[in-house]
Amino acid sequence: MLYIAEEKKKLGNDQYKAQNYQNALKLYTDAISLCPDSAAYYGNRAACYMMLLNYNSALADARHAIRIDPGFEKAYVRVAKCCLALGDIIGTEQAVKMVAELNSQSTAASGEQAAALKLRQLETTIQTNYDTKAYRNVVFYLDIALKLAPACLRYRLLKAECLAFLGRCDEALDIAVGVMKLDTTSADAIYVRGLCLYYTDNLDKGILHFERALTLDPDHYKSKQMRSKCKQLKEMKENGNMLFKSGRYREAHVIYTDALKIDEHNKDINSKLLYNRALVNTRIGNLREAVVDCNKVLELNNQYLKALLLRARCYNDLEKFEESVADYETALQLEKTPEIKRLLREAKFALKKSKRKDYYKILGIGRSATDDEIKKAYRKKALVHHPDRHANSSAEERKEEELKFKEVGEAYAILSDARKKSRYDSGQDIEEQEQADFDPNQMFRSFFQFNGGGGGRNNSFNFEF
């Protein structure tokens, strides 16, 4: 029996050297079944498991070999290597210590000893950064730690948690699912999966995962915290939406504002809360605040089309036409729809109109002014800005008043002519030639001749300055 076991071991060694580890594993297992009290066979199979990255099985075999032969130095070295790979610093240090006790001159575990010390230092750094929510740093140092301890599920899951906090939920989910394949009862893995759902606005599913983690581990503090936060956010979001739909905008504003304080890291939910609050602000006339909220949404997610369109509309209402056009152009790049194309055309038209002189404003009247109101406004403004009235002013002041006098005349010339007024009101350009040939003094004389005045210049009209 021993002879056959030895043959199996030799064949296993040949397969091991040829890197056929699965074949070697079967042969070592056959040898163990024939001779279960051989420490060497367990030691060999432990080495084989290590090459297959199955550190838990390797550790079990190495420790079994030690139980059979407490003086088996190689087995202690393998225990140290396995513990290190699994992130068990204490286990590594204890195994290294046993190697030194068996052979004070041995350097077989010196690499593991140095790596364990480095892991201790890294864990302190990782914890400090985690406590200060410096999650990018945590991920950076965990990557270093995982090179030393590649099979440490604790490190993997902590990295996944931090990736979720950073919004990299796809990466975090891949890690969590990978761990769950190895251990279906891992409360930490289920917690991380719930975290990913939470950060992608799947609150109901997130709550279910946190509750599942608590079923497996009733003292899982992080799951308790997140379940509470998840439920609170879900309730506040729903209440805010209900208040908005019922027209209770100011109450909805308060709810959305409070909800935004719950978790600064939840970019997905916060962007939606900010957009909802921006909508509320438009309903209560706070257009500038709505723009600020839309800015924050787009900082979190520059592809948020609804926020971009809402900001464009707010800019238009605030008469910031260039900004409105820019937003609609960006929106059209994101989604080429007939509706956005129409909105862009209208915004460009409004921009074009805004760059024209506002003749109504120049005369100080509203767009619904009657012909008589237009005439009265012209009479009043023309008398105020007529050059004769400012003959004794400085050259600079005379020039400014002459310009205003001309603008008043232009405004009247357009608004008193039904055809021109119609073209102007519809946003069409007035022919440049008509404006170039315009003489404000002739307009002034004609107006007062046909509206109860005299002729000529130099105070010959029936009015008093």
CA dist., res. 54 & res. 195, Å (int): 28
Per-residue pLDDT tens digits for 108-135: 999 999 999 999 999 999 999 999 999 9
Sign of CA dihedral 431, 432, 437, 443: positive
**What is the structure's pLDDT at 465?**
35
Q: What is the CATH number of the domain that holds 325?
A: 1.25.40.10
Whether the pLDDT of residue 455 is over 70: the answer is no
Which of 296, 328, 355 is the C-terminal boundary of a domain? Answer: 355
97 plus 38 within the same structural domain: yes
Residues above pLDDT 70, as percent of the chain: 94
Whether the pLDDT of residue 34 is over 50: the answer is yes
7 plus 115 within the same structural domain: yes
333 plus 364 within the same structural domain: no
Whether the pLDDT of residue 413 is over 90: the answer is no
User: In terms of residue numbers, what domain contains 96?
Assistant: 1-119
In a domain, 209, yes or no: yes
* Stretch 387-410: mean pLDDT: 86
Whether the pLDDT of residue 84 is over 60: the answer is yes
Question: Higher pLDDT residue, 419 or 23?
Answer: 23
Q: What is the CA radius of gyration of the chain?
A: 41
In a domain, 435, yes or no: no
In a domain, 257, yes or no: yes
In one-letter notation, the amino acid at residue 363 is: L
326 plus 364 within the same structural domain: no
Q: What is the CATH number of the domain that holds 375?
A: 1.10.287.110
**What is the structure's pLDDT at 83?**
97
Average pLDDT, the chain: 91
Q: How confident is the model at residue 386 (pLDDT cuts 50, 70, 90)?
A: confident
Per-residue pLDDT tens digits for 312-324: 999 999 999 999 9
Pick from 76-90, 257-271, 381-395 the range whose average pLDDT is largest: 76-90
Residue 247, CA distances (Å) to 102, 250, 279, 284, 449 in order: 80, 9, 12, 10, 58
259 plus 318 within the same structural domain: yes
Whether the pLDDT of residue 296 is over 70: the answer is yes
Closest CA to 215 of 251, 239, 238, 184: 184
Q: How would you label 345-383 residue by residue, b for 16+ Cβ within 10 Å and e otherwise?
A: eebeeebebeeeeebbebbebeeebeeeebbebbbebbb
CA dist., res. 19 & res. 295, Å (int): 58
In a domain, 57, yes or no: yes
Which of 203, 231, 259 is the C-terminal boundary of a domain? Answer: 231
* Stretch 33-47: mean pLDDT: 95
Q: How confident is the model at residue 460 (pLDDT cuts 50, 70, 90)?
A: very low
9 plus 67 within the same structural domain: yes
**What is the structure's pLDDT at 378?**
86
| CA atoms within 13 A of residue 176's CA, in its CB half-sphere | 25
* Stretch 411-434: mean pLDDT: 75
Question: Higher pLDDT residue, 430 or 191?
Answer: 191
**What is the structure's pLDDT at 458?**
40
Whether the pLDDT of residue 433 is over 80: the answer is no
* Stretch 286-291: mean pLDDT: 97
**What is the structure's pLDDT at 429?**
66
Token digits for 143?
């990557």
- For the chain, percent helix, then strand, then coil, each to nearest 5? 75, 0, 25
Whether the pLDDT of residue 447 is over 80: the answer is no
**What is the structure's pLDDT at 463?**
35
Residues above pLDDT 90, as percent of the chain: 73
CA dist., res. 429 & res. 410, Å (int): 14
Q: How confident is the model at residue 49 (pLDDT cuts 50, 70, 90)?
A: very high
79 plus 167 within the same structural domain: no
Number of continuous H segments (helices) and E segments (strands) in the chain: 25, 0
260 plus 224 within the same structural domain: no
3 plus 83 within the same structural domain: yes
Cβ atoms within 10 Å of 199's Cβ, excluding its own = 23
